[in-house]
Structure 1
Amino acid sequence: MASSPSRSRNLSLAKESLTGSSYLDDHLEYKSHQSGPSTSIDGVMDQPTRRPRHTMSNASLTSRRSISAISPSPMVAQESSTVYTISHTNCVREPGGPARLVATIYYNSASPRHPHIHPDQSPPGRAIDRIPVPEIVEGSAPTTSIAEYPLEPPAPEPEPLDHLYGAYISQLCLTHFLSTLDSLLIHNRSEERRLTSSHRCLAPDPVKPRVMEVTFSPAPNSEYLPFPLISKHESIYKFEREWNCEIVLQPSTVYRRHKRLCVFDMDSTLIQQEVIDEIAAFIGVKEAVAAITERAMNGELDFASSLKARVALLKGVPSHVFEHLKPKLVITPGAKELCKCLKRLGFTLAVLSGGFQPLADWLAGQLGLDHAFANHLIVDPKTETLTGELDPSCPIVDAQHKRNLLISLASGKDIPLAQTMAVGDGANDIPMLQTAGLGVAWKAKSKVQMEAPARLNIGESMLDLIYLLGVTKEEVDELLRD
Structure 2
Amino acid sequence: MDGVLTLVAAPGSGALDAPRVEAVRSALDRLGAEEDRPRWLAKGEACDLAFAGLAPEQAEGAARMALGDRPVDIVAQPMADRRKALLIADMDSTIVTSETLDDLAAHVGLRDAIAAITARAMNGEIDFAEALRERVGMLVGLTEGAFADTWAETRLTPGARTLVATMKASGARCLLVSGGFRYFTERVMDLCGFDAQVSNDVEIEDGRLTGRVMEPVRDRRTKLDTLMREAGRLGLPMSRTLAVGDGANDLPMLLAAGLGVAFRPRPAVAAEARAVVRHGDLSALLYAQGYARDEFRETP
Alignment TM-score, normalising by the size of structure 1: 0.59
> Residue 202 in 1 paired to residue 40 in 2?
yes
1:191-241 deviations in Å (ceiling 9; x for gaps): xxx521103333333xxx321101111124xxxxxx5x44674x4433232
Alignment partner of 2:247 out of 405, 426, 434:
426
> Residue 252 in 1 paired to residue 51 in 2?
no
2:7 alignment partner in structure 1: 105
Within 5 Å, which residues of 2 pair with 1:56-455? 100-108=2-10, 110-111=12-13, 167-171=15-19, 173-184=20-31, 194-205=32-43, 209-220=44-55, 227=56, 229-230=57-58, 233=61, 235-253=62-80, 255-257=81-83, 259-380=84-205, 383-392=206-215, 395-455=216-276
Tell me if structure 2 keeps the 8 A contact 1:280–1:286: yes
Tell me if structure 2 keeps the 8 A contact 1:101–1:250: yes
2:293 alignment partner in structure 1: 473
Matching residue's letter, 2:47:
M
Matching residue's letter, 1:204:
A
Q: How far is the alpha carbon of 1:299 from its aligned partner?
A: 1.4
Tell me if structure 2 keeps the 8 A contact 1:299–1:447: yes
- Mapped partners of 1:212, 1:232: distance in 2: 14
Q: How far is the alpha carbon of 1:384 from its aligned partner?
A: 2.4
- Mapped partners of 1:327, 1:453: distance in 2: 35
- Mapped partners of 1:356, 1:445: distance in 2: 21
Aligned length: 300
1:114-164 deviations in Å (ceiling 9; x for gaps): xxxxxxxxxxxxxxxxxxxxxxxxxxxxxxxxxxxxxxxxxxxxxxxxxxx
More helix as a share of residues: 2
Tell me if structure 2 keeps the 8 A contact 1:424–1:442: yes
CA RMSD of aligned residues (A): 2.1
1:82 alignment partner in structure 2: none
Matching residue's letter, 1:444:
P
1:157-184 deviations in Å (ceiling 9; x for gaps): xxxxxxxxxx53223x233213322444
Q: How far is the alpha carbon of 1:284 from its aligned partner?
A: 1.4
Q: How far is the alpha carbon of 1:111 from its aligned partner?
A: 4.0
Within 5 Å, which residues of 2 pair with 1:13-28? none
Decide whether aligned partners of structure 1 residues 230 and 313 sit closer, same or farther in structure 2, where only a CA change above 3 A counts: farther
Tell me if structure 2 keeps the 8 A contact 1:104–1:213: yes
Bigger Rg over Cα: 1
- Mapped partners of 1:363, 1:327: distance in 2: 12
Tell me if structure 2 keeps the 8 A contact 1:340–1:480: yes
Tell me if structure 1 keeps the 8 A contact 2:182–2:199: yes
Tell me if structure 2 keeps the 8 A contact 1:169–1:211: no
1:78-126 deviations in Å (ceiling 9; x for gaps): xxxxxxxxxxxxxxx6xxxxxx1100012335346xxxxxxxxxxxxxx
Decide whether aligned partners of structure 1 residues 368 and 314 sit closer, same or farther in structure 2, where only a CA change above 3 A counts: same
1:127 alignment partner in structure 2: none
Tell me if structure 2 keeps the 8 A contact 1:231–1:247: no
Tell me if structure 1 keeps the 8 A contact 2:41–2:290: no
Matching residue's letter, 2:82:
R
* Most deviating of 321-330 and 424-433: 321-330
1:463 alignment partner in structure 2: 283
Q: How far is the alpha carbon of 1:343 from its aligned partner?
A: 1.3
1:130 alignment partner in structure 2: none
Percent of residue pairs bearing the same amino acid type: 32
Tell me if structure 1 keeps the 8 A contact 2:4–2:50: yes
Tell me if structure 1 keeps the 8 A contact 2:41–2:48: no
- Mapped partners of 2:45, 2:185: distance in 1: 33
* Structure 1: 5+ residue stretches without partners: 1-92, 94-99, 113-166, 185-193, 221-226
- Mapped partners of 1:424, 1:231: distance in 2: 24
Matching residue's letter, 2:25:
L
Tell me if structure 2 keeps the 8 A contact 1:263–1:349: yes
- Mapped partners of 2:162, 2:64: distance in 1: 30
1:90 alignment partner in structure 2: none
Tell me if structure 1 keeps the 8 A contact 2:157–2:282: yes
- Mapped partners of 1:339, 1:398: distance in 2: 23
Matching residue's letter, 1:256:
R
Q: How far is the alpha carbon of 1:315 from its aligned partner?
A: 0.8
Tell me if structure 2 keeps the 8 A contact 1:202–1:470: no
Tell me if structure 2 keeps the 8 A contact 1:361–1:372: yes
- Mapped partners of 1:231, 1:289: distance in 2: 41
- Mapped partners of 1:355, 1:334: distance in 2: 21
* Structure 2: 5+ residue stretches without partners: none
